[in-house]
Amino acid sequence: MEQQQLRGLRDFLLAYNQMTELCFQRCVSNLNYRTLTGEEESCLDGCAGKLVRSNHRLMAAYVRLMPSLVQRRISDYEAAAQEAALPPAEPPALPAPSVVSAS
């Protein structure tokens, strides 16, 4: 896998784990049963749904703004490349080589 794909997977798993932890803390109050109560299940559905919808809205905003961010970065790189391409006014002076005599 390429580095960017690994980073994307890591970010997804981190967000998933945070969502799971948050919804569990908010909704699960009784650990005496192996299954969720109806109230806990309803709470978890609402919590996870709310976070997923929020994530979709954030991703939509990101997709909408990304082209302008990329264009701005390209402009910055082009400006930096033009500045680097300008010849310096005067090259720095090199020190004179030292001569060692064999006496």
Q: Within a domain: residue 88? A: no
Q: Residue 55 belongs to a domain with what CATH number?
A: 1.10.287.810
How many distinct structural domains can be found in the chain? 1
pTM: 0.55
For the cut 60, the answer to whether the pLDDT of residue 102 exceeds it is: no
Q: What is the DSSP string of 27-57?
A: H----SSSS--HHHHHHHHHHHHHHHHHHHH
Integer Cα distance of 45 and 4 in angstroms: 31
**What does the pLDDT look like over 78-94, one tens digit per residue?**
888 888 876 655 655 55
Question: Within its chain, how far is the Cα of 65 from the centroid?
Answer: 15
Is 101 a domain residue? no
pLDDT of residue 53: 93
pLDDT band for position 95 (cuts 50, 70, 90): low
% of the chain at pLDDT higher than 90: 39
Domain extent at residue 53: 3-82
Q: What's the chain's average pLDDT?
A: 84
